[in-house]
Structure 1
Amino acid sequence: MDVFQSLEQGDSVLDLSRLDLDSVDMDGVSEERRRETTRLYLASNRLAVLPDALCLFANLQVLDVSSNGLELICEDVTRLTKLKTLIAKNNRLDAQSLPKDFGCLQLEVLNLSGNRFEELPPQCLKLRRLRSLSVGGNRLRAIPAEIENLTSLELLYLGGNLISFIPPELANLPHLSYLGLCDNRIQSVPPQLTRLHSLRSLSLHNNLLTYLPREILSLVHLQELSLRGNPLVVRFVRDMTYDPPSLLELAGRSIKSRNLPYSPQDVPSHLVNYLDMASKCPNPKCAGEEEMYVYVCVPVFFLSSCALVFVSCAFFTGVYFDSCVRHIKFVDFCGKYRLPLMHYLCSPECSSPCSSAPQSDVDSEDESSVPADRLQRVLLG
């Protein structure tokens, strides 16, 4: 049966995907049908090249040629002056595959994920109307500084590449709300990213991050931050799991913070000596004799599903002995970390450089009373 027979007159969609075609004879499509078609789907066939008559679809706005094994996007594509969305993922495209005048298109959505690009094609950096660019699962080693030319960009996904450096120019994208850089080799985040005032989601999981810049706290609209699989989070979970404050430390803090009297007649002499070693916390944010609750949510790795263990403990701040206690709210929604700022409270680390970060207004509130859109602060290593 002719693959075009079942298409109704006036239908703006022409779906020829998953038909195992190795060629499509567009000559079988009437001139009226070509004129009416605004969306053309050719995905999951065996097309080595695009049909010659593709350029005759003058009103085409969406073209999907994914999963075909394509090695070349023909020059005729540039004649599709109304094309807004091009999806060409999971092919064999590389730096030589795009036509020279590709940047003249008025594309708003471009998906080139799952191909063989080793660098971002310069033609893509001329698509000034582009709102969504996906080039994940390629072989990119760098993000060109010219990325700043795509000033309309709202979504940028570059996960699953070989990127090790985030250029500061990336911060010059005023409308960027989603940035996906997961599964790369990134070791640091430039503080300039704080200029991304529209950013709501930042995916950095499975990289080589050991810290985040404090400036990232100024991303007031950030709601999702994915950090799993980085040394930063691995170290945090390890320390929380295997190095909790001792009972002696907690008992000593309770006694000193509440100014409870003690003497050799009340407790053994070595405990008296220990209590006398208490030091005042140098952190000016420390609550003195006030009680501060620490809510800790730790992933349970041995369960097959995403699970969390909540531990609520009351620590008395203002003094320390030798143990590091942090104020943490830690949430992992099946891979999406949302963490308020980690504070060093009463420990020798209070006076360390990493403890000088400003206090988040989220930290002093019970998690149940904090709206979800305010759980947006991040873990600082």
Structure 2
Amino acid sequence: MASELCKTISVARLEKHKNLFLNYRNLHHFPLELLKDEGLQYLERLYMKRNSLTTLPENLAQKLPNLVELYLHSNNIVVVPEAIGSLVKLQCLDLSDNALEIVCPEIGRLRALRHLRLANNQLQFLPPDHWNIAPNWRSREHSWTNHYLRCVLFHKYLTVDRNRLWYVPRHLCQLPSLNELSMAGNRLAFLPLDLGRSRELQYVYVDNNINLKGLPSYLYNKVIGCSGCGAPIQVSEVKLLSFSSGPRTIFLPAEVKAIGTEHDHVLPLQELAMRSLYHTYHSFLKDLNFLSPISLPRSLLELLHCPLGHCHRCSEPMFTIVYPKLFPLRETPMAGLHQGRTTVSFVAYCCSTQCLQTFDLLS
């Protein structure tokens, strides 16, 4: 097997191959033949999936300087060396199905990188600094970060499925070129409220995050995957909470009944406040003696006039969070145009778990 491997690499070097396939070779170490002499200067694509590699050589970029795609799917890689940041032409890096527990920030120095695949690892978090797109360029303490920020500005596809992530760095929402984000099968309980605010981000997949019960309303008109998220709740009937302001009593949404239970999460305070304020403000339009609009900031007034969406079940306004419900539909002639699928689906958006449970396309 060793002689066959050496022969394959020697032929690739002699004939100046641009693609080299070393999949299924039972490799436990990175082949030294690849790093011999000047390496493979012409090589652009290296496929090494389904081996037993545990690490990568420090001189990888020096010996393979023209790599555009590097596929390391299904190995046992625990650590990626800092030197990987020197692969300046790398556009696609696949580290799926390895044993990574952290993402080395040097990956961020890959300015040409468009596809980053980290699915099926042991990641518990993504370093916030890695996604920082607004560094303090004058600060020395942040200067080391600046070397790899240019890369993340141009990420288009990020896949981190089936890891152990429990939160999403907020700066990830601000990447101007990110088109597709897949974080299915993690431990997410919430998403940043402005995820989806970027027009470029069109595809978000968070399927099978069982603790995730709501989506930011900026995802309202995006293509989303959210099956297997959340679970139906049963909350015993208790007296609705409310607060009074002068002669009026304002009731809070029904989710407040779930406070303290292990089955549901309370809506963000901002959402509760905005919904209550929305109804209160519209009450003012009927009763000029209550809550003068002059007391509210202009930006807040504009948001109250135009919520980001309304519940399909009860038309309740939604400002920061929605509850999606997927309805598979019958086959249609046009459905086959969508990535070979033969069925299409309708996603309903609800304002609460109660509306989510009771909404039906026929209702």
Which stretches in structure 2 are left out of the alignment for 5+ residues?
Answer: 132-148, 234-262, 264-309, 319-328, 350-355, 357-363
Check 1:378–1:210 CA distance in 2 against 1; reply closer, same or farther (3 A cut): farther
In the alignment, the residues of structure 1 paired with residue 312 and residue 117 of structure 2 have an alpha-carbon distance, to the nearest angstrom, of: 40
In the alignment, the residues of structure 2 paired with residue 140 and residue 11 of structure 1 have an alpha-carbon distance, to the nearest angstrom, of: 39
Contact 1:188/1:209, CA 8 A, preserved across alignment: no
Superposition map of 1:182-221 within 5 A: 182-184=207-209, 185-194=211-220, 199=222, 201-208=223-230
- 1:103 maps to 108
- 1:173 maps to 198
Q: CA deviation at 1:122?
A: 3.1
Query: For structure 1, which segment, 167-176 or 59-68, has the greater mean C-alpha deviation from structure 2 after superposition?
Result: 167-176
Q: Is 1:160 the counterpart of 2:185 in the alignment?
A: yes
Check 1:343–1:205 CA distance in 2 against 1; reply closer, same or farther (3 A cut): closer
In the alignment, the residues of structure 2 paired with residue 48 and residue 368 of structure 1 have an alpha-carbon distance, to the nearest angstrom, of: 46
Q: Deviations over 1:65-106 (max 9, x none)?
A: 2222111001111111101111011111112x51x4321212
Check 1:62–1:123 CA distance in 2 against 1; reply closer, same or farther (3 A cut): farther
In the alignment, the residues of structure 2 paired with residue 137 and residue 369 of structure 1 have an alpha-carbon distance, to the nearest angstrom, of: 32
- 2:19 maps to 13
What amino acid sits opposite 1:110 in the alignment?
L
Aligned match for 2:85, one of 59, 78, 82: 78
Check 1:143–1:52 CA distance in 2 against 1; reply closer, same or farther (3 A cut): closer
What number of residue pairs does the alignment pair up? 231
Superposition map of 1:287-366 within 5 A: 353=314
Check 1:53–1:175 CA distance in 2 against 1; reply closer, same or farther (3 A cut): same
Q: Is 1:118 the counterpart of 2:124 in the alignment?
A: yes
In the alignment, the residues of structure 2 paired with residue 32 and residue 46 of structure 1 have an alpha-carbon distance, to the nearest angstrom, of: 25
- 1:379 maps to 348
- 2:98 maps to 91
Q: Any idea what SS the aligned residue of 2:93 has?
A: strand
Check 1:17–1:203 CA distance in 2 against 1; reply closer, same or farther (3 A cut): same
- 2:297 maps to none
TM-score (norm 1): 0.54
Check 1:368–1:161 CA distance in 2 against 1; reply closer, same or farther (3 A cut): closer
Q: CA deviation at 1:202?
A: 1.0
- 1:146 maps to 171
Check 1:191–1:11 CA distance in 2 against 1; reply closer, same or farther (3 A cut): same
Q: Deviations over 1:243-278 (max 9, x none)?
A: xxxxxxxxxxxxxxxxxxxxxxxxxxxxxxxxxxxx
What amino acid sits opposite 1:162 in the alignment?
R
What amino acid sits opposite 2:106 in the alignment?
D
In the alignment, the residues of structure 2 paired with residue 192 and residue 356 of structure 1 have an alpha-carbon distance, to the nearest angstrom, of: 13
In the alignment, the residues of structure 1 paired with residue 332 and residue 92 of structure 2 have an alpha-carbon distance, to the nearest angstrom, of: 42
Which stretches in structure 1 are left out of the alignment for 5+ residues?
Answer: 212-230, 232-340, 345-352, 358-365
Q: Deviations over 1:210-254 (max 9, x none)?
A: 69xxxxxxxxxxxxxxxxxxx9xxxxxxxxxxxxxxxxxxxxxxx
In the alignment, the residues of structure 2 paired with residue 342 and residue 191 of structure 1 have an alpha-carbon distance, to the nearest angstrom, of: 11
- 1:361 maps to none
Q: Which has the larger radius of gyration?
A: 1
Check 1:52–1:14 CA distance in 2 against 1; reply closer, same or farther (3 A cut): farther
Q: Any idea what SS the aligned residue of 2:41 has?
A: helix
Q: CA deviation at 1:30?
A: 6.2
In the alignment, the residues of structure 2 paired with residue 368 and residue 16 of structure 1 have an alpha-carbon distance, to the nearest angstrom, of: 42
Q: Is 1:131 the counterpart of 2:156 in the alignment?
A: yes
TM-score (norm 2): 0.56
- 2:247 maps to none
In the alignment, the residues of structure 1 paired with residue 194 and residue 127 of structure 2 have an alpha-carbon distance, to the nearest angstrom, of: 17
Q: Deviations over 1:149-184 (max 9, x none)?
A: 322111111000010112122122321222110010
Q: Any idea what SS the aligned residue of 2:194 has?
A: helix
Q: Any idea what SS the aligned residue of 2:153 has?
A: coil
In the alignment, the residues of structure 1 paired with residue 165 and residue 119 of structure 2 have an alpha-carbon distance, to the nearest angstrom, of: 11
Q: CA deviation at 1:343?
A: 7.8
* Identity score, percent: 24
Contact 1:113/1:135, CA 8 A, preserved across alignment: yes
Q: CA deviation at 1:147?
A: 0.9
Q: CA RMSD in A?
A: 3.4
In the alignment, the residues of structure 2 paired with residue 50 and residue 121 of structure 1 have an alpha-carbon distance, to the nearest angstrom, of: 21
In the alignment, the residues of structure 2 paired with residue 160 and residue 89 of structure 1 have an alpha-carbon distance, to the nearest angstrom, of: 14
Check 1:144–1:19 CA distance in 2 against 1; reply closer, same or farther (3 A cut): same
Q: CA deviation at 1:29?
A: 5.6
